[in-house]
Amino acid sequence: MNITMKNLKHYLLALLLLSPLSFTAITIKADQTVPAQNIEQFVDVFKRIKEQYVEEIDDEQLFKAAIKGMVSGLDPHSSFLTNDDFNELKIGTTGKFGGLGIEITTEDGYVKVITPIDDTPAKRAGILAGDLIVKVGDESVKDMEIGDAVKLMRGEPGTKIQITVLRKKAGEPLIFDITRQIIVSKGIKFKVFDNIGYVRLSSFQSNSTNDLKSAIYKLKKLSPTPIDGLILDLRNNPGGVLGAAVGITDLFLQEGKIVYTNGRTMNSKLEYFATPQDILNGLPLIVMINGGSASASEIVAGALQDNERATIVGNKSYGKASVQTIQELSDGSALKLTTARYYTPLGKDIHTLGITPDIIVEYEKDKVVELPDPYNTDNQLFETIKIATGMKAVSQ
């Protein structure tokens, strides 16, 4: 159907008010009002762009830009996904794609690194949590949609890319030349140090609970004597599957609330509780976090801290306590929308505030390195092992 500029406003109003069947994505309740004045303003701006913008823009492009702006203005984690964007997201969630290996968000128009993923080009190159990406190749990503920035960074495995970042305390922009590779999260690493079990969890995937359980059983077999406690390393873990966070927390609790979510719809109001089990039988537990620990990592740390089951060690976490749902639309595009916030068992709202550790351990070096060389290169892990060793006396 062709709609002239003259009757566009009336058509939009009709969609919203008179013909709900033709606009099934929105339900207008009786007690809600439609902002007719704002619709008129939208039509006025639309008309001026169509008539005066330096280049001719088609209607579909304008409407998609309007929807993107409306959704992205809500918070950094909500977004409208075009068909291509949605396909990119589905590729990313398979855990196998050509890229750099970073979790990103947007902040004040910049692309911000939540954390580099273990065993990836970005991690090996020295990208850090909190870095602000300002250029990909020669193209500025300032004020760019996050999906467009992701497209620039993804590419064929083996191809090279240059990114420019701003970093606190760095006097000038830092330039990294990185070779893309297939990104496959390895999930879990484990080792025994001084009869202290150490498990590194880099992301929360659907099988993470069983993987962690299996790793702990293997640790017990590896140790020549019974382990005296466990360190769960969630540094630079950006989160993932909510169910995995609940399941992993439940491994260490015999009772109590784990997390609850709250939003405007009934589906967003959920509570999760522990079942009677503790895989460690009361042995001391330390959870390591830092500024790259987000979302599901904060659920685990917050629940174990509030239930006084673990000592939280490291630096304050990222502070992402929101839940996003992906809703596919009729034309193959999708809406990624924040529908709830989650809270720790004691009701702490950690969104933007993060989890504050019980014991602060600062880094001596910028880079969190890989196992198995913690004594010489990873000061925070070394200090945490010493703390754990000192906790042997409280073993049950």
Tens-digit pLDDT profile for residues 3-12: 555 555 555 5
Q: Is residue 78 flagged as an active site residue?
A: no
**Residue-level pLDDT at 10:** 55
Q: What is the pLDDT of residues 347-361, one digit of tens each?
A: 999 888 999 999 998
pLDDT of residue 186: 62
The confidence score (pLDDT) of residue 20 equals 38
Residue 185: which pLDDT band, with cuts at 50, 70 and 90? Answer: low
Q: Per-residue pLDDT tens for 226-278?
A: 999 999 999 988 888 889 999 999 999 999 999 999 999 998 999 999 999 89
Q: What is the mean pLDDT of residues 65-90?
A: 84
Amino acid residing at 321: A
pLDDT > 90? residue 135: yes
What percent of the chain has pLDDT above 90? 42
Between CA 350 and CA 303 the distance in angstroms is 12
Which of 202, 306, 317, 336 is an active site residue? 306
Mean pLDDT across 313-323: 91
Which residue among the candidates 295, 297, 317, 322 is catalytic per the annotation?
295
Residue pLDDT, tens place only, 18-46: 433 333 334 445 455 667 778 888 888 98
Residue 100, pLDDT above cutoff 60: yes
Decide the pairing of beta strands 229-233 and 196-201: parallel
Contact predicate 79/68, CB 8 Å: yes
Integer-rounded Cα Rg, in Å, for the chain is 24
| Residues 361-390 pLDDT 10s | 876 444 444 444 443 447 778 788 888 877
Q: Please say if the pLDDT value at position 204 is more than 50.
A: yes
Bridge partners of residue 296, in order along the sequence: none
User: Pick the catalytic residue: 135, 257, 320, 336?
Assistant: 320
* 262 CB-contact burial (10 Å; exposed 0-12 / middle 13-18 / buried 19+): middle
pTM: 0.73
**Residues 202, 208, 213, 219: is their CA dihedral positive or negative?**
negative
Superfamily designation of domain 188-394: 2-enoyl-CoA Hydratase; Chain A, domain 1 (3.90.226.10)
Average pLDDT, the chain: 83
pLDDT band at 64 (very low <50, low <70, confident <90, very high): confident
The pLDDT, as a whole number, for residue 389 is 78
- Catalytic residue list contains 373: no
Q: Which of 395, 366, 362, 394 is nearest to 381 (CA)?
A: 362
- Which of 264, 218, 258, 254 has the alpha carbon at shortest distance from 74? 264
Predicted pLDDT of residue 270:
94
The secondary structure of 249-262 as a DSSP string is: HHTT-SSSEEEEEE
According to the model, what pLDDT value does residue 23 have? 37
Per the omega criterion (within 30 degrees of 0), is the bond before 372 cis?
Answer: yes
Helix %, strand %, coil % for the chain, to 5?
A: 35, 25, 40
Q: Are 340 and 262 in contact (CB under 8 A)?
A: yes
Per-residue pLDDT tens digits for 11-25: 555 544 443 333 333
Please give the angle made by the CA atoms of 33, 26 and 32, to the nearest 5 degrees: 15
pLDDT of residue 21: 37
**Domain segments of the chain as ranges:** 5-57, 83-183, 188-394
State percent of the chain over pLDDT 70: 83
Is residue 295 annotated as part of the catalytic site, yes or no? yes
Phi-psi region of 294 (alpha: psi -120 to 50; beta: other; left: phi over 0): beta
Q: Is domain 83-183 given the CATH code 2.30.42.10 in the classification? A: yes
Task: Give residue-wise pLDDT tens across range 285-294.
Answer: 999 999 889 9
Q: Is the pLDDT of residue 325 over 60?
A: yes
